[in-house]
């Protein structure tokens, strides 16, 4: 709405009004360096620039260069959009997506801590190469576990559907390969070359008796599960 002096009046931002008035993106700095910014982005995509050289382009002697200032101002646009979506009082879709991603990351860290169980999951190598070797090995084993679990989850879902159980795609989308209660990380491991197993192991029957981890050979029968949901959570993932 236009005022008496011809200026356009806009709505306020509530408690963010003062912050919005004092913190504005300097678009002039962005437009002045836009061509150089595109060159830097292209160099990053094609892997033609090193991180060290990039830092030199962004700052010198503790002060940002015009190019560095332009990237800083441009980054404030994305940060502003991010914060506005986080504090949106009406639509919480963005916050839900953030929470979902954080849950996935935490599940990944939990699985990694369970695999890296020696010395309570801490790395005690006193030299850099040794730490990198341990972290690299942890990442390799973690990826193998995720792949292994994913294949057996897919096989279990396929078998349940073949048996007539109704499993929606929405439920399948919520399954996570980051579960590890079915894994045994204790014991001795053999890394001698061997012929890979052809195909997957037979899936376990959830109603069949199995050994209790707390007993020495005494068998116990798992509680009966009548619903298809309960069956789907207990079928299939044998310990590796």
The Cβ-side half-sphere exposure at 239, using a 13 Å CA radius, reads 11
Domain boundaries, the chain: 14-86, 92-119+130-184+232-240
Report pLDDT for 212: 47
User: What mean pLDDT is predicted for residues 160-173?
Assistant: 89
Report pLDDT for 105: 84
User: What mean pLDDT is predicted for residues 78-85?
Assistant: 88
Dihedral (CA of 122, 125, 131, 136) sign: negative
pTM (2 d.p.): 0.52
Whole-angstrom distance, CA of residue 85 vs CA of residue 90:
10
* pLDDT tens sequence across 141-165: 889 889 989 999 999 999 999 989 8
- For residue 59, what are the β-bridge partners? 64
CA angle, 207 as apex, 205 and 211 as ends, to 5°? 85
Report pLDDT for 12: 67
Q: Which of 7-21, 91-105, 111-125, 213-227 has the highest mean pLDDT?
A: 91-105
- For residue 211, what are the β-bridge partners? 219
Lowest model confidence (mean pLDDT) among 45-49, 141-145, 193-197, 202-206:
193-197
- Please count the helices (runs of H) and the strands (runs of E) in the chain: 9, 4
């Amino acid at each position: 709405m236009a005022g008496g002096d011809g200026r356009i009046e806009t709505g306020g931002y509530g408690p963010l009004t003062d912050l919005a008035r004092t913190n504005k993106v300097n678009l002039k700095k962005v437009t002045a360096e836009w061509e150089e910014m595109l060159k830097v982005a292209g160099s990053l995509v094609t892997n033609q620039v090193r991180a060290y050289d990039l830092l030199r382009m962004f700052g010198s002697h503790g002060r940002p260069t015009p190019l560095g200032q332009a990237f800083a101002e441009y980054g404030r646009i994305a940060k502003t959009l991010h914060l506005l979506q986080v504090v949106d009082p009406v639509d919480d879709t963005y916050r839900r997506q953030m929470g979902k991603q954080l849950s996935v990351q935490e599940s990944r860290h939990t699985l990694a801590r369970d695999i890296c169980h020696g010395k309570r999951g801490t790395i005690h190598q006193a030299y850099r190469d040794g730490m990198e070797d341990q972290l690299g090995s942890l990442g390799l084993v973690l990826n193998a576990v995720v792949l292994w679990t994913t294949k057996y989850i897919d096989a279990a879902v396929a078998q349940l559907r073949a048996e007539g159980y109704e499993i929606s795609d929405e439920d399948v989308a919520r399954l996570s390969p980051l579960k590890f209660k079915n894994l045994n990380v204790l014991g001795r491991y053999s890394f001698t070359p061997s012929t890979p197993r052809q195909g997957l192991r037979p899936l376990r029957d959830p109603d069949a008796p199995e050994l209790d981890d707390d007993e020495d050979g005494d068998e116990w029968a798992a509680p009966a599960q009548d619903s298809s949901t309960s069956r789907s959570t207990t079928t299939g993932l044998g310990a590796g």
